[in-house]
Structure 1
Amino acid sequence: MLYFFNVTSPSSLLKNIQLFWNSKIFRKKRFTDDTVLFYSSFPVTQKCIQLQEIHSYICNLFKCNPSQLPIRFDHWFNFRLLSPGSVIKSVLLNNPRSRIGYDDVNLFYKNQPKQSIAVLERAFWSTMKNDHALLKVPNVIIRHSLHNVRTFFLNFQGEHGLFQKAKITEIVILEFLKKWINKDMENLKTFIAYQHELYHDGEYSLSRESLKKGRSFEGAELEKWNQERFYSYNSEISNFHTFSPDTFDCSDGLDIVRHTDRMRATIKIEREYFMFFVWP
């Protein structure tokens, strides 16, 4: 269960906590969920260090894991005032009034490099640079990846990526496979990209025919697999996204095997998606 605190100032927060502490709801429940959420509407000028002190206070009060106590802002706050390395998870919500771009997001992740997962709910029309700090986060969800999915295809250094509403091309898939063959993505475990519905047909339509050119790759070979098998998915992304039951069914997938170390990965490709699973 989630408990919400609408906070307009430090004093109002303490008052809300005191009321909740004395309420029948709290006395009837053992507070072990570790999933408290308080919504902050502090002015942008509010010192973030004060917010961090409040966060620590609540964690101690409710004896909950600090990593499981998110703080939600209704605006893009001055993240530079947060202590470097103090954020381990982040979700950027879809606020149509927000004017932030990928450059702002880049500064945030450079200042908070210890994050285990990053979730971006909103769309960015600006172009993402190839050295963006987001590319190094272990688990990444981009809900509206659009044309910027290409940057992740070619430069992602994390372990698990989920990219929705993407603009995927045959060329970028082949470039991605070449990079994996050349061991330029050694951290990669899974890469799941869903084609935007606008590109299901026409020149951007995906199919296994796209991989025929891959047979000429140096250093790898393609193999058809005809036995039942399921990929064991182990990523924090599962806490933020519900996959369809057949997502990790690789029974009908096409395998690519590197010659250098016999590392095997399964490719699943249809008009709606491209998926890549590296076997341990």
Structure 2
Amino acid sequence: MDWIMRLNNIVGFETGCTIMKIKMGNADIECAWSYNQIRIANASHIEVTAAIFRHILNLFKFSGKIQLELCLDPRGVNNFPVLDGVTATALRGGPIDTSTVETFCSKYPTQKSAALLSKLSAELSPYSPILILEDVYFCDTEGQSSKILENFTGRILMIDDAQLPETSIIQFIRNWMTGSSHQNLEVLRIVFNLRCFINPGIVHEEFKNEAEVRDPSKRVMHYEFNTHIIGRYRPYMFDCYDFLDIERHSDGRTASFLVMEYKFYFCVWKND
């Protein structure tokens, strides 16, 4: 990713600094330079960040896809302006309150992906706008992995440090097979919390008469994909030699899944 502008930890400047006064749009900014960091005296970091953001974009006439990474302050999210062109966001600084996440996501209804890089706090609504994005990453769902998996309607879902019982995995697979949900899903990548390993035998027993081991003599064994998620925009590949194949009843489409004590992977094949 090419950075047009990166602002890290904008803070107030110390007494004695050489102060410059800059006008950007509607914002009057008092600032001082320190190495590669802009130190500002304005009370609102949000106002300054937005003003600089818009100024840089206008200066370079940039109109491509924009990725926005923020350390989100719950006290300022309602005042955070909408910045045109943002298609991917990454939110850190936490724990992150779910109402803050939902308020922020509602400001960017056209974004394609989001990464939550801090622990979730409070309960996420099953109708949360983050669950309808194409690609989403959660670093710590704080016990809400089952709800997120159940209600996610997008393309790629990644969860680290998850707590997910075998029953939720079984229900997810069953719903996909019957076509009752997850029809847009292409990839699921879940890594479990070290204290919450599961028993894969329970899942295997449930589908012993419906799932079959993927046959390398008949089928492609490597599933490749990429994401729009900030920090995870790189090629991924599942080695499917230990995966099991299932079929969706409505259209005969094939998916493969791997369940181990510490992870659950699921992928849908476009052409097999």
Report what 1:52 is aligned to.
50
Closer/same/farther in 2, CA of residues 229 and 90 from structure 1, 3 Å limit: same
Choose 150-159 or 175-184, whichever is displaced more: 175-184
1:231 is matched with which residue: 216, 223, 233? Answer: 223
Q: Aligned pair 1:194/2:187, yes or no?
A: no
2:129 is matched with which residue: 103, 122, 133? Answer: 133
Report what 1:116 is aligned to.
112
The residue matched to 1:146 in structure 2 has which SS?
Answer: coil
The one-letter amino acid of 1:212's match is E
Closer/same/farther in 2, CA of residues 161 and 69 from structure 1, 3 Å limit: closer
Report what 2:255 is aligned to.
265
Bigger share in strand: 2
Report what 1:27 is aligned to.
none
> Counterparts of 1:263 and 1:108 in 2: how far apart (Å)?
36
The one-letter amino acid of 1:206's match is N
> Counterparts of 1:74 and 1:132 in 2: how far apart (Å)?
18
Taking only the aligned residue pairs, the percentage that are identical comes to 20
Report what 1:33 is aligned to.
none
Deviations 1:102-141 (CA, angstroms, capped at 9, x unpaired):
1221222223221111111111242222111111111101
Q: Measure how far apart 1:189 and its partner are.
A: 0.6
Bigger share in helix: 1
> Counterparts of 2:41 and 2:205 in 1: how far apart (Å)?
55
The one-letter amino acid of 2:68's match is P
Closer/same/farther in 2, CA of residues 111 and 63 from structure 1, 3 Å limit: closer
Choose 7-16 or 137-146, whichever is displaced more: 7-16
CA contact (8 A) 1:135 1:152 kept: yes
Closer/same/farther in 2, CA of residues 42 and 240 from structure 1, 3 Å limit: farther
> Counterparts of 2:107 and 2:224 in 1: how far apart (Å)?
33
> Counterparts of 2:187 and 2:63 in 1: how far apart (Å)?
28
CA contact (8 A) 1:85 1:114 kept: no
Q: Measure how far apart 1:54 and its partner are.
A: 2.6
Closer/same/farther in 2, CA of residues 198 and 43 from structure 1, 3 Å limit: farther
In structure 1, stretches of 5+ residues that fail to align are 21-36
Closer/same/farther in 2, CA of residues 115 and 190 from structure 1, 3 Å limit: same
> Counterparts of 1:179 and 1:75 in 2: how far apart (Å)?
37
RMSD: 3.7
The residue matched to 1:175 in structure 2 has which SS?
Answer: helix
Report what 1:222 is aligned to.
211
Report what 1:252 is aligned to.
242
Deviations 1:168-218 (CA, angstroms, capped at 9, x unpaired):
111000111122123211111101110100123xxxx232442321347xx
In structure 2, stretches of 5+ residues that fail to align are 13-19
Report what 2:231 is aligned to.
240
